[in-house]
């Protein structure tokens, strides 16, 4: 009888240990900073928002947001800064937010251009097509696109019937932002010109490319006083992206 009791006790202890290990792995997965671990099961999380700025095609640049509800109730979000005129997916990030933080993010980006809900299929197709467009011109998507796109897993872009025409009037149009140095901007512009496109690269730091400095955050008084490192006006769409990264702790 004592042997049987000892065997049952060992089995019970083994089960408890297995449960503790499983819980430890679950907590480690939930808190991991590695997106390949944190977002591994994203394709099974319900999509609660897929938002695109209504002025994306008229302004040429905008932040697209997708959010999926995690089992613990938090929202896994990805933001894609999409340049539909030339560079494709110019920036990308992912993060985990609470409901109130997500709404604050949406309000912040809604100031750049009113966000409209679209189908997940439309959203995914737009992002992937933008990445392909930029890549076709020799401009690969932002390095963090590989992680942010994990929140598009399980969405079938082929189910979206819409077709997108990138560029302006069928040709790529490059507008320099503060993320590019003058040398980089001229290199990009030369490539775009060789492809039959147009460009707007200021010859002097004080010039504002096509009056596009007010593309985003148009109501942000603080941004009005900020200047880029070369002394030129800040392209506030990019400033928003940098602020957003700081705000989200990236």
Provide the residue ranges of all domains of the chain, joining segments of one domain with +: 42-165, 173-242
Listed as ranges, residues in the chain with pLDDT below 50 are 22, 24, 27-28, 203-241, 248-250
Contact 75, 96 (CB under 8 A): yes
pLDDT at 112 (0 to 100): 79
3-state secondary structure of 250: coil
Q: Which two tokens stand for residue 10?
A: 């060992």
pLDDT, position 247? 57
Residues with Cβ within 8 Å of 91's Cβ and at least 6 positions away in sequence, in order, are 79, 80, 81, 142, 144, 238, 241
Strands lying side by side in the sheet with 47-53: 88-97, 75-83, 61-69, 47-53, 115-117
pLDDT at position 3 = 63
pLDDT at residue 113, rounded to an integer: 83
Number of H helices, E strands in the chain: 9, 7
Give the pLDDT score at 216. 31
What is the torsion angle, in degrees rounded to the nearest 10, for the CA atoms of residue 226, residue 115, residue 105 and residue 123? -110
Q: What is the pLDDT of residue 45?
A: 97
9-30, pLDDT tens digit by residue? 677 666 666 565 545 455 445 5
pTM of structure: 0.72
Take residue 3 and report the two structure tokens written for it: 């042997």
């Amino acid at each position: 009888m004592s042997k049987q009791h000892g065997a049952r006790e060992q089995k019970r202890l083994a089960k408890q240990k297995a449960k503790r290990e499983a819980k430890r792995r679950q907590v480690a997965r939930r808190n991991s900073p590695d997106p390949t671990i944190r977002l591994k099961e994203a394709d099974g999380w319900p999509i609660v928002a897929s938002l695109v700025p209504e002025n994306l095609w008229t302004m040429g640049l905008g932040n697209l947001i997708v959010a999926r509800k995690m089992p613990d109730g938090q929202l896994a979000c990805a933001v894609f800064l999409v340049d539909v005129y030339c560079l494709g997916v110019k920036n990308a990030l992912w993060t985990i937010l609470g409901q109130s933080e997500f709404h604050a993010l949406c309000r912040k980006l809604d100031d750049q251009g009113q966000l409209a809900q679209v189908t997940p299929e439309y959203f995914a197709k737009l992002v992937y097509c933008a990445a392909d467009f930029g890549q076709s011109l020799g401009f690969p998507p932002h390095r963090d696109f590989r992680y942010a796109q994990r929140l598009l897993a399980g969405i079938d872009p082929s189910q979206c019937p819409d077709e997108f025409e990138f560029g302006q009037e069928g040709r790529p149009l490059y507008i320099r932002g503060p993320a590019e140095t003058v040398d980089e901007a001229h290199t990009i512009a030369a490539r775009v010109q060789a492809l039959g496109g147009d460009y707007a690269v200021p010859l002097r730091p004080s010039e504002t490319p096509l009056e596009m400095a007010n593309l985003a955050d148009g109501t942000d008084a603080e941004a009005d006083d900020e200047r880029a490192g070369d002394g030129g006006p800040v392209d506030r769409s990019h400033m928003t992206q940098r602020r957003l990264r700081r705000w989200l702790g990236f």
